[in-house]
Structure 1
Amino acid sequence: MKKLINNPEYVVEEMIDGYVKAHSSYVKRLEGNDRALVTSKETKEGKVGILIGGGSGHEPAFMGYVGAGMADGVAIGNIFASPPPAPILEVTKAIDKGAGVVYLYGNYAGDVMNFGMAADLAAMEDIQVEMVLATDDVASAPKEEKDKRRGIAGEFLVYKMAGAAADFGYDLKEVARVARKANENTRSMGVGLSSCSLPQTGEPSFILGDDEMEVGLGHHGEPGIRKAPVDKADNVVDELLDNILGDMEINKGDDVVVLVNGLGSTPLMELYIMFRRVDEVLKEKGINIYRSYVGEYITSLEMGGASITVTKVDDEMKKMVDHPVDCPMFVQR
């Protein structure tokens, strides 16, 4: 697999270096840790800080979402690996404005451990921290074990709503409540068509036959619920939506936000074909799409495939979704 890189051992450092140079009006790197980025714009005292993070390879997540209306800082790990506690703590100290910091991250063992350790260290610095885990992937555990589910593309909408709540002046507990509410009302499921390869190995992260797809694939190549022959887009969307909607308490007349997310190498043409079918199915069920997002929001290097996310929203959540955002990789007016 071909990649435009230099030394594969330094791809993350060189990516961060290029990103900061390209977007210096938005972000800056902290002197204390090369994996710690914060907004370059001044934030007001008393605002709750929003800290996101995770492994590299998911660009534009996670560093692409540091900016007005979303995150105040990001801690960056190696490819598909959690950031260690050190950059998390450095970002925490930099973005705390006296009101505490909310950590938002996916439900993966390394992230749970390292963000938890950073929170303990922050407490020793007299900084209050609330932690909210994303658990939107319906394919990764049954409904009765929702706390074991992975966070995938639905994390983006958790960031969106938590960032808005912080901007609106909500206190620490309330920002965390909004983030948990967003997660509780969000369901996602994906399909993989082709693997990606880590720069250090050049080998595929998993194997699929030329005519195979993996239904329920995770963002790091974790196995899904079944392998199957590649099917028509409408049939794939129907299966994903059946699983998503069947896992939610959702009724005719409800409003939802929909995200169709590309995993890295799926053309927009295909993502819009998928969204077309999502719109048809939801209209048939009398479910209203309040806002939609189509594109690459949380990827997996050059993986082929896509995921669908549905978030049921009430009036409070609509206000959060509508709030303007200005980040290097996501702008909403």
Structure 2
Amino acid sequence: MKKFINHVDDFLVETLSGFASAHSDLTALNLQPTYLERKVLTPGKVALVSGGGSGHEPLHIGFIGRGMLDAACPGEVFTSPTPDQMMAAAQAVDTGAGVLFIVKNYSGDLINFEMASDMSNLATATVLINDDVAVENSRYTTGRRGLAGTVIVQKLVGSLAETGADLEHCKAFGDRVNKNTASMGVALTSCIVPEAGTTTFEIGDDEVEIGVGIHGEPGRRRDKLMSADAITAELLEAICNDLQPAQGSEVLLVVNGLGATPLSELYLLFNCAQKWLDKKGLSVSRSLVGNYTTALEMAGASFTLCILDEMTKEHWDSPVHTAALRWGA
């Protein structure tokens, strides 16, 4: 294993300390228990709290700030945060309007966020992200997994919360966005969890894993390496079969890197995807390309489509200022 690391046991704390120092204008780090919170809170605004295992950066810590999250709870690498982290984070950022938990559909995350919600004396609600169309069930999840659609939900609901919308409306909007969002990924290589020191799974130099999860969970099938156009067509066909967008629909297309794929290849995939969607009569009116929901140093990518309407376009375009996503005034 070759990584920039001092001691395995200190990996998370040193990572979070570096992040908090680099973005001290946006976030503050608490270590007992561990969470990061937005530096400047808005009184009377619904607070958005998310989290999950580390190793997927910039998810979730990179999306703390104006227009997105108020707090994030990072667990150890690929390991759920604990209920006490979630409770402490919620209490720290609640300003009287309640707390909305945005949770990816992994068993540990789901159970621990449910426990935090049950034990909290705050008004809370949960949006469950399950955008992965690759599998219906796996030993890591109950139902479909949460992937890069998480970023879309965080951005859109974060924008709505900034307008003063109440907890009920923020949850309903998040559920609607999740329902209109679907993703699927592909891996070219595995990754190495620092604590393990070896690759999570073995894959040949001439193979790809179609439908891989962001922790290295198996996908739909293992196959020989195909052209970018062929891979794009298979993933987008599965996504569109799930979403069933009407011809002429406007969509947000996210091409997300899993950690080790060059940006040049991600833009090549975007080009492949836009051509495929054009032929299907779908209009890519919003886009995002880059590393947003990663799997350590895994080489690969995922596609995410979100069906847009006037409300979602408005909230996607609204100003956002976080470490990993920022535009507008």
Counterpart position of 1:95: 93
> Per-residue deviation at 1:328?
1.0
Which of 268, 283, 292 is equivalent to 1:288? 283
Query: SS of the counterpart of 2:184?
Result: strand
CA distance, structure 2, for counterparts of residue 304 and residue 55 of structure 1: 19
CA distance, structure 2, for counterparts of residue 201 and residue 30 of structure 1: 26
Where in structure 2 are the equivalents of 1:23-42 lying within 5 Å? Answer: 23-30=23-30, 32-33=32-33, 35-41=34-40
Where in structure 2 are the equivalents of 1:301-312 lying within 5 Å? Answer: 301-312=296-307
CA distance, structure 2, for counterparts of residue 67 and residue 18 of structure 1: 17
TM-score (norm 2): 0.97
Identify unmatched segments of 5+ residues in structure 2: none
Q: Aligned letter for 2:143?
A: K
> Per-residue deviation at 1:283?
1.2
Q: Do the aligned residues in 1 keep the contact of 2:255 with 2:290 (CA within 8 Å)?
A: yes
C-alpha change, 1:140 and 1:326, in structure 2 (3 Å) is: same
Q: Do the aligned residues in 1 keep the contact of 2:73 with 2:89 (CA within 8 Å)?
A: yes
C-alpha change, 1:170 and 1:62, in structure 2 (3 Å) is: same
Counterpart position of 2:134: 139
CA distance, structure 1, for counterparts of residue 205 and residue 86 of structure 2: 41
Post-superposition CA distance 1:61-107 (Å, at most 9, x none): 11000001000001110101110011111110011111100000110
Query: SS of the counterpart of 1:319?
Result: helix
Counterpart position of 1:5: 5
CA distance, structure 1, for counterparts of residue 195 and residue 277 of structure 2: 42
> Per-residue deviation at 1:44?
2.4
C-alpha change, 1:190 and 1:31, in structure 2 (3 Å) is: closer
Which of 250, 255, 259 is equivalent to 2:245? 250
Which of 66, 81, 101 is equivalent to 2:64? 66
Q: Do the aligned residues in 1 keep the contact of 2:106 with 2:142 (CA within 8 Å)?
A: no
CA distance, structure 1, for counterparts of residue 55 and residue 30 of structure 2: 21
Are 2:322 and 1:324 equivalent residues in the alignment?
A: no
Are 2:265 and 1:270 equivalent residues in the alignment?
A: yes
Q: Aligned letter for 2:94?
A: D
> Per-residue deviation at 1:30?
3.0
Which shifted more, 313-322 or 296-305?
313-322
Identify unmatched segments of 5+ residues in structure 1: none
> Per-residue deviation at 1:147?
7.0
Q: Do the aligned residues in 2 keep the contact of 1:32 with 1:90 (CA within 8 Å)?
A: no
TM-score (norm 1): 0.95
CA distance, structure 1, for counterparts of residue 37 and residue 54 of structure 2: 16
Q: Aligned letter for 2:19?
A: Y
C-alpha change, 1:14 and 1:279, in structure 2 (3 Å) is: same
Q: Aligned letter for 1:308?
A: F
> Per-residue deviation at 1:141?
1.0
> Per-residue deviation at 1:297?
0.4
CA distance, structure 1, for counterparts of residue 135 and residue 2 of structure 2: 31
Q: Aligned letter for 1:53?
A: G
Counterpart position of 1:208: 203
Q: Do the aligned residues in 1 keep the contact of 2:107 with 2:142 (CA within 8 Å)?
A: no
Post-superposition CA distance 1:213-248 (Å, at most 9, x none): 000000000000010001110110000011000111
Counterpart position of 2:118: 120
CA distance, structure 2, for counterparts of residue 250 and residue 200 of structure 1: 42
> Per-residue deviation at 1:169?
1.0
Let me know the Cα RMSD of the aligned residues. 1.2
Post-superposition CA distance 1:49-72 (Å, at most 9, x none): 000100000011110000010000
Q: Aligned letter for 2:25?
A: S
> Per-residue deviation at 1:249?
2.3
Which of 71, 81, 99 is equivalent to 2:79? 81
Counterpart position of 1:221: 216
Counterpart position of 2:145: 150
Counterpart position of 1:44: 42
Q: Aligned letter for 1:8?
A: V
CA distance, structure 1, for counterparts of residue 206 and residue 248 of structure 2: 39
Aligned sequence identity (%): 41
Query: SS of the counterpart of 2:66?
Result: coil
Where in structure 2 are the equivalents of 1:155-174 lying within 5 Å? Answer: 155-174=150-169
Q: Do the aligned residues in 2 keep the contact of 1:212 with 1:230 (CA within 8 Å)?
A: yes
